[in-house]
Amino acid sequence: MLALSDLSLPVVFGGAVCFSFFANLHQIEYYYPIIWICCSGIFAIYLYDHLADLKSTSQIEIGAPFWILYRFKKIWIVVSVLSLLIAFYILLTKMRLEYLMPGGIVALLVLGYYLFRKFAPKKIQGQLKELWISLVATMALGGISAWITTSQIHWILLISFFLICFQNMLLFSWIDFEHDVINQNLTLAVSSGISYLVWILDIVSLVNLAMLADLWHSEGFSFAIVIFLLMQLQLFIIRILCEYKGTKRVYRFWTDMVFVLPLLSFI
């Protein structure tokens, strides 16, 4: 499980699930090539993010955090480049016109993130990295289908998904705190402290619960709302475990697996 989490494979698979979920929610035709493009982008941005955090590391022992990523980084880079080349080929030959504008916006956000990690001051990176990745994920997995739909846009669920992505990143920052301190990786936890991060995490989770409860009250029961409540509950349980049981690396896996929960809507 830890190796899968270090390679971000649960969130890549969860990305495909979430894109399909929002496509179904916004009543658009399933278009599998765009799923490949989104998942390739997610894998690339997480891979780059992890490798950038490990660039000052000279040696990682087997079993240490991200050891499988570090030891075989050339292989993962090749895999990422190949997947992006396939995605680029799909973009040039298979892409439907209605996907070009929202897909281009997501691509610009990803490019902006790379430039941000390259040139932004470290302090700013530590404060904004989690927000930026959450925005990219939300736009890629939910925003594209919302852009092209001709039916109702589910704005509250899109905002809820952004808050879930943000909590996901905050929990990573908390779980990896000691590792990031050793490797001098500036995250929100490192730059602002654990207590500040936990305060932000609690506020965001309460806002999300309030939004979902209000949506249930105003529009009635829907399975989509239940799924989002289950996603929020899973993140809240992990938050409690981090506080009272300590931050264990296995929690990274279960934090990412929250994005697989929308698979319940297809059962």
Determine the pLDDT at residue 259.
Answer: 95
Interatomic CA distance for residues 263 and 267, integer angstroms: 7
pLDDT band at residue 264 under the 50/70/90 scheme: very high
Kindly report, residue by residue over 228-250, the tens digit of the pLDDT: 999 999 999 999 999 999 888 88
Residue that wins the pLDDT comparison between 37 and 231: 231
Query: 3 pLDDT exceeds 70?
Result: no
Q: What angle do CA 46, 49, 51 make, to 5 degrees?
A: 110
Q: What is the pLDDT of residue 40?
A: 85
User: CATH top-level class for 2-266?
Assistant: mainly alpha
Read off the pLDDT of residues 102-149 as tens digits, 9 standing for 90 and up.
877 887 888 888 888 778 887 787 788 899 889 988 998 999 899 999
pLDDT band at residue 206 using 50, 70 and 90 as cut-offs: very high
Residue 73: C-alpha distances to residues 69, 79, 92, 146, 250 (Å): 5, 10, 28, 35, 21
- Give CA separation, 262 vs 52, 55, 153, 165, in Å: 31, 35, 18, 14
Q: Are 128 and 75 in contact (CB under 8 A)?
A: no
Taking the CA atoms of the chain, what radius of gyration do you get in angstroms?
18
What residue spans of 54-120 are helical by DSSP H? 67-71, 73-93, 100-119
Phi/psi at 154 (5° precision)? -90, 80
Q: Which of 71, 42, 56, 72 is nearest to 168 (CA)?
A: 42
pLDDT for the residue numbered 88? 79
Q: Which pLDDT belongs to residue 56?
A: 62
Q: Confirm if 42 and 8 have CB atoms less than 8 A apart.
A: yes
Predicted confidence at residue 204, as pLDDT, reads: 97
How high is the pLDDT of residue 201? 96
Is the model more confident about 1 or about 12? 12
pLDDT at 74: 86
Residue ranges covered by each domain of the chain: 2-266
pLDDT digits (tens, 9 = 90+) for 155-204: 999 999 999 999 999 999 999 888 778 777 778 888 889 999 999 999 99
Distance separating alpha carbons of residues 34 and 87, to the nearest angstrom: 8
